Amino acid sequence: MHSYYSFVTGPLAWIAFIVFICGSIWRFNSLWQLTKKKDSAVFEYMDRKFALRSIAHWLIPFGSRSMQLNPAMTVATFLFHICLFITPIFVFGHVMLWKENFNISWFALPNMAADVMTFIVIGSCIFFLWRRIKLPHVKYLTTPLDFIILMIVAAPFMTGFWAYHQFPGFVSMTIIHIVSGEIMLMAIPFTKLFHMFLFPFTRGYIGSEFGGVRMAKDW
């Protein structure tokens, strides 16, 4: 137990962060270089004003017609993404770990809030799963990898909840929690989870095209 713990909180944690940061930089850079080499027109049509206009409309809940047509999905995605980012950064246990290891600290979430947000993440994952299984047009697009990614994202929250509430076996669950978080970090650069970094660019580009060339809205 002790050696597992020291491995997952020591070397593996470092590996996870390094893979996440370097992998993301690498992937981003290779796409950037490829764009410069093969799609340089993209830079030609990119327009800060229109890009930001489009991004803003798509970051405001119900800011696009697409979101209005899919209200349940809109509510679920927004809550999901907000909680997905806020919870791990501000949950008290994690703030403590940053303090212990790097002597930096910031605001921490009340326990109750962390619990609610964890529920939201797990709940939205179940909703996404339901969409993948039940809605024919989503099912048709779904690949096994999509389920795995959903699991990768949900796992740290489920295990974290388990560990925090000290349900049976919580000691091993804490270790699994740490590992699952590390898996998620490492998966970001190499899976569709990378969309978090690409969103501003794909949205920004189509926003620039629509705004600058086509003189039309794209939301």
Partner 1 sequence: MNRFINSVMNMNISGITLTAIILTLTFAITTHADDCFTVNGETIDANSNTRPFVCFQHDAHNEKAGLESCDRCHHSYDDQGKLIEGESSEDKSCSECHAGNVGSQKSFDSNRLNIDLAAKYHKLCRDCHITEKKGPVVCGECHKR
Partner 2 sequence: MSESKTVNDNKKTESKKIEDQGIQKGIEQLTPERIESVIRQVINDETGARLKVYVDTCLHCGLCSKGCHFFLSLKDPKFSPAAKVKQTLWEIMRKKGKVSPEFIKEAALIAYTQCNMCKRCAMYCPFGLDVAYVMSVMRRICYKLGVVPLYIQDTAHSHSVAMNQMWVKDDEWIDTLMWQEEEAQDAMENLRIPLDKEGADIFYSVIGPEPKFRAQLIFQAAVIMNAAKENWTMPSMPGWDNSDMCMFTGDYEMMERLKRLHFESALNLRAKRIVMGECGHAFRSVYDVGNRALGWRMPPIEVVHSIEYFNELFEQKKIKIRKKFERPVTLHDPCNIVRGRGLHEMARNIVNATCANFIEMTPNREHNYCCSAGGGVINCGPPFKNARVESGKEKAKQLFAAKAKGAEVVIAPCHNCHGGLEDIIHHYGVEMELKFFGDIIYEILELPE
Q: Which is nearer to partner 1, 33 or 166 (CB)?
A: 166
**Least CB distance from residue 2 to partner 1, whole Å?**
4
Q: Which is nearer to partner 2, 7 or 78 (CB)?
A: 78
201 binds, among partner 2, partner 1, none (CB under 5 to 8 A by kind): partner 2
User: Which residues have CB under 8 Å from 56's CB, separation 6+?
Assistant: 63
**Least CB distance from residue 42 to partner 2, whole Å?**
7
Please choose, from the candidates 69, 45, 73, 78, the residue with its C-alpha nearest in 3D space to the C-alpha of residue 219. Answer: 69
Helices then strands, counting H and E runs in the chain, come out as 12, 0
Q: Tokens 């994202």 — which residue?
A: 153
- In 10 A of CB 52, how many CB atoms? 16
Q: Which is nearer to partner 1, 31 or 113 (CB)?
A: 113
**Least CB distance from residue 34 to partner 2, whole Å?**
4
CA dist 209 to 27, 121, 175, Å? 24, 34, 48
171 binds, among partner 1, partner 2, none (CB under 5 to 8 A by kind): partner 1
Residues found near partner 1 in the complex (CB under 8 A)? 1-3, 5-6, 92-93, 95-96, 99-100, 103, 105, 108-112, 114, 163-166, 170-171, 174-175
Residues found near partner 2 in the complex (CB under 8 A)? 31-32, 34-35, 37-39, 41-42, 44-45, 54, 58, 64-66, 69-70, 73, 131, 135-143, 146, 192, 194-195, 198-199, 201-203, 205-207, 210, 213-219
At 61, is the secondary structure helix, strand, or coil?
coil
Please choose, from the candidates 194, 210, 213, the residue with its C-alpha nearest in 3D space to the C-alpha of residue 53. Answer: 210
